[in-house]
Every structure is written in C-alpha cells, then in structure tokens.
C-alpha cells in the first residue's frame, strides 16, 4: 500500500527546505536551489526513513487538515516577530502519570505555601499546578505561556 504525505516546502533566503507531516521522527530534505530539488530530496529522505525504521514511523492520522502556501508579494520573507519555546516537561510521563518537580538530589519539591496562590488563581495567571500537599507538577507550559503573553502584551 502506498502512503501519501503532506509535504511543507519553505522558501528561505539561501534556498528551499522541505519536510513531511505525518511521520514520527525528523525527516528534512537538504536545502535545494529550487522547490523541485527540495521535494526530490525529501522524498528520498522519506523512503530512507521508512526503510530504516519500518511502519512504526507512521502517525495514525496527520494532525493537519489543510495546508496553505503563503509568500509575501515582494518575494521577501515576512517581517514579523517569532516566539519559539521548547517545553522539556509537560507534567506527565509517556504513560500519563503525573510527574513532580524534584531537587537535584532526587527528592520531590514540597511548597505548601504555593497551594493557596494556585487555588485562587485562574488560567490567565499561569501559576504552576500545586497539589494540596504542596507537590508541584513539573510542567514548563505555564511559564512558556506567561513568557509569550509578556512578549506580546502590547
């Protein structure tokens, strides 16, 4: 059975870069001088990725329903700010169990004084999740959201 993938092609000042959606792992075609060369390269990279890692690289469904090609009228990259963040922890392990902040020695961080602040906060406060016993959920997302709002509040 032949699979189809949505492929994103980005135009950069020094060439084109292409990558597929719907595959686990990183598959990126090298920069090409043309859109066609980037597409050719990413197709080759997809074949290699699937041959190397097998069917487990396929995502059940692609999260993207539609894709659009956008380019500025002048052909120059758009001039707008970009906010990028990487969350190292999101409060759960891969089995869905809650994980908590820990000291370097491995002990859980307990801060009972933070619970009252958390209990009276709302989602816009970006407060860390704190249980009644003072255990703090290890989740970077509230801090990332706070930084995003702070960056673009004007």
Structurally, the chain folds into a number of domains equal to 2
Question: How many helices (H) and strands (E) are present in the chain, helices listed first?
Answer: 3, 3
Contacts of 7 (CB under 8 A, 6+ apart): 18, 19, 20, 21, 39, 42
The residue among 47, 75, 103 that closes a domain is 75
pLDDT digits over 67-99, tens only? 455 555 555 655 666 677 778 888 888 888 999
Q: Are residues 125 and 149 in the same domain?
A: yes
pLDDT digits over 9-63, tens only? 887 777 888 888 777 776 676 667 887 888 888 888 888 878 887 777 776 654 4
The residue among 75, 98, 122 that closes a domain is 75
Q: Are residues 45 and 62 in the same domain?
A: yes
**What integer best gives the mean pLDDT of the chain?**
77
Enter the pTM of the model: 0.45
Kindly state the DSSP code that residue 17 receives in the 8-state scheme: E
């Amino acid at each position: 059975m032949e699979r189809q993938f949505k492929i994103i092609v980005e135009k950069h000042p020094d060439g084109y870069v292409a990558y597929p959606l719907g595959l686990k792992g990183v598959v990126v075609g090298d920069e090409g001088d043309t859109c066609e060369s980037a597409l050719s390269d990413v197709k080759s990279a997809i074949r290699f990725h699937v041959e190397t890692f097998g069917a487990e690289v396929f995502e059940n469904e692609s999260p993207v329903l539609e894709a659009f090609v956008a380019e500025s009228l002048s052909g120059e990259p758009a001039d707008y700010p970009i906010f990028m963040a990487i969350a190292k922890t999101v409060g759960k392990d891969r089995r869905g169990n809650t994980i908590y902040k820990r000291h370097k020695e491995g002990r859980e961080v307990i801060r009972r004084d933070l619970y009252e602040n958390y209990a009276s906060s709302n989602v816009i406060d970006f407060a860390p999740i704190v249980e009644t016993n003072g255990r703090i959920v290890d989740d970077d997302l509230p801090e990332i959201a706070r930084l995003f709002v702070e960056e673009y509040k004007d």
